[in-house]
Amino acid sequence: MVQRQLPKPAELFELMQFKKPELDGRKRRLDAALTIYDLRTIAKRRTPKAAFDYTDGAAEGELSLARARQAFEDVEFHPGILKPAPTVDTSVEILGGPSALPFGIAPTGFTRLMQTEGEVAGAGAAAAAGIPFTLSTLGTTSIEGVKAANPHGRNWFQLYVMRDREISYELTRRAAAAGFDTLHFTVDTPVAGARLRDKRNGFSIPPQLTLGTIVNAIPRPWWWYDFLTTPKLEFASLSTTGGTVGELLDAAMDPTISYADLDVIRDLWPGKIVVKGVQNVEDSVRLKDAGVDGIVLSNHGGRQLDRAPIPFHLLPQVRKAVGDDFTVMIDTGIMNGADIVASVALGADFTLIGRAYLYGLMAGGRQGVDRTIAILRTEIERTMRLLGVSSLAELEPAHVTQLTRMVPLGESILVR
């Protein structure tokens, strides 16, 4: 027979510990977000559809983005046993300087439209975390404004080569004068990709209001309050701002960009230069031979050529081809710290997060970006401990298997 007794009040209170209520609504919702996908859910609830879809969407059928995320989900880890890792070192040296974590914030355009703090929130959060922040040519905060938000941290600048080359040259000179230490020479945007969500939403800078836009925004008065009571939304580095996203890109970008343009920018830029948007082994080797400081394997977050190669799948081949003495970074599809750990294990020196950062921004401004970084840091540290490694340098290909859903028929297009 089970012995029963009346509960003692002291024991009852000990078992029933009530959580102190959090009165700060922003902190309460951010604390409840345990993953980047949780932040995405909050962001979708708080942001008008056109702005959210610009961040969340990709080109055409959005196959490249879906495949990139699937590639990370198809990772199988191989932990070592009896290898204690009570503490882990997540720091890395990248492009001549330190980063406290193996990721930085990627360049994103139109950022203040997502949430009014925009690039200032991103740069400030990066400074606090000790990681690099990258400003886009299509940013809504100036080069000098980002420097003011992150005066002592590492700032990088992403450069598009414009039809009017002098615009690009002047931006290069300004970023160098402001102390930005690395330039991302971007090569995957000769023309705009077909971002169908944006076309359907009439997404433009400045926003074009329709009845649907207004109806969608009515339940989000906080967004309109921020939008209407802060400085005018415009590109901080460009003078022409009217039109849809595709029209703006097509007017600004130049499909004749070539190695000759890279040579000119290299002559202008005093710091490190990496080429962003590399998508095959041949180009990776050629760029190394050309003497650039590194590359970013990227299909622009799936926002340009749909069905483009998956950067994470491409990574081992590129690392093998270029050797260990060349900087290889990766972006596209990263939504978990485990994705970053897997990338480092397979040869990436560094990773960049774009949408993950913007989901945090839309969910809670600067505090939301801090939360993004905290979530990824926790996931990185936990994954490393479970693998039995104490530092990023201990990660190696043997820790990861890339499970394959799509097997090419015939010769791979990744090596030409």
CA dist 355 and 300 (Å) reads 11
| Mean pLDDT of the 313-338 span | 97
Where residue 410 falls among pLDDT bands split at 50, 70, 90? Answer: low
Which residues fall within 8 angstroms of residue 368, CB to CB, at 6 or more apart?
Answer: 30, 39, 42, 43, 115, 121, 359, 360, 361, 362
Does the CA dihedral 339-134-253-173 come out positive or negative?
negative
pLDDT tens-digit series, residues 119-169: 999 999 999 999 999 999 999 999 999 999 999 999 999 999 988 899 899
Q: Scanning the structure block, which residue is given the tokens 């880890």?
A: 77
Which residues fall within 8 angstroms of residue 1, CB to CB, at 6 or more apart?
Answer: none
Q: Which residues are annotated as a binding site?
A: 54, 107-109, 136, 158, 160, 186, 195, 276, 298, 300, 303, 354-355
- Are 205 and 248 in contact by the 8 Å Cβ rule? The answer is yes
Catalytic residues: 300
Q: What pLDDT, on a 0 to 100 scale, did the predictor assign at position 219?
A: 84
- Are 232 and 205 in contact by the 8 Å Cβ rule? The answer is no
Share of the chain above pLDDT 90, in %: 69
- Per the prediction, the chain carries an average pLDDT of 90
Q: Which helix (H) or strand (E) holds 5?
A: none
Q: What pLDDT, on a 0 to 100 scale, did the predictor assign at position 133?
A: 98
Q: How far is CA 79 from CA 75, 120, 124, 349, 375, in A?
A: 13, 39, 35, 21, 21
- Are 321 and 300 in contact by the 8 Å Cβ rule? The answer is no
Token pair of 93, please? 């040296």
pLDDT tens-digit series, residues 65-84: 999 999 999 999 999 988 88
pLDDT at 111 over 80: yes
321 φψ region: left (φ > 0), alpha (ψ -120 to 50), beta (else): alpha
Q: What pLDDT, on a 0 to 100 scale, did the predictor assign at position 205?
A: 62
Q: What pLDDT, on a 0 to 100 scale, did the predictor assign at position 40?
A: 98
- Identify any residues that bridge with 105 across adjacent strands, giving them in sequence order: 133, 353
In 3D space, the residue among 179, 184, 188 whose CA is nearest the CA of residue 159 turns out to be 184
pLDDT tens-digit series, residues 285-309: 999 999 999 999 999 999 999 999 9
- Classify strands 400-402 and 92-94 as parallel, antiparallel or unpaired: unpaired
- Are 24 and 15 in contact by the 8 Å Cβ rule? The answer is no
Q: What pLDDT, on a 0 to 100 scale, did the predictor assign at position 176?
A: 97
Q: What pLDDT, on a 0 to 100 scale, did the predictor assign at position 14?
A: 72
Q: What pLDDT, on a 0 to 100 scale, did the predictor assign at position 163?
A: 86
Does the CA dihedral 183-357-167-196 come out positive or negative?
positive
| Mean pLDDT of the 385-401 span | 96
Does the N-terminal peptide bond of residue 206 adopt cis geometry, omega within 30 degrees of 0?
A: yes
Q: Which residues are annotated as a binding site for FMN?
A: 107-109, 136, 158, 186, 276, 298, 354-355
| Mean pLDDT of the 80-94 span | 91
Topology annotation, domain 26-393: TIM Barrel (3.20.20)
Residue count of the chain: 416
Give me the residue spans of the domains in the chain: 26-393
pLDDT tens-digit series, residues 192-226: 888 888 888 877 666 666 777 777 777 888 888 88
Q: What pLDDT, on a 0 to 100 scale, did the predictor assign at position 246?
A: 61
Share of the chain above pLDDT 70, in %: 92
What is the chain's alpha carbon radius of gyration, rounded to the nearest angstrom?
23
User: DSSP label at 175?
Assistant: H
Where residue 244 falls among pLDDT bands split at 50, 70, 90? Answer: low
- Identify any residues that bridge with 134 across adjacent strands, giving them in sequence order: 156
In 3D space, the residue among 8, 397, 48 whose CA is nearest the CA of residue 210 turns out to be 48
Token pair of 95, please? 């492009």
- Identify any residues that bridge with 186 across adjacent strands, giving them in sequence order: 276
pLDDT at 371 over 80: yes
24 compared with 284, residue with greater pLDDT: 284
Q: Which residues are annotated as a binding site for glyoxylate?
A: 54, 160, 195, 300, 303
- Are 156 and 132 in contact by the 8 Å Cβ rule? The answer is yes
CA dist 336 and 372 (Å) reads 10
pLDDT at 16 over 80: no
- Identify any residues that bridge with 77 across adjacent strands, giving them in sequence order: 400
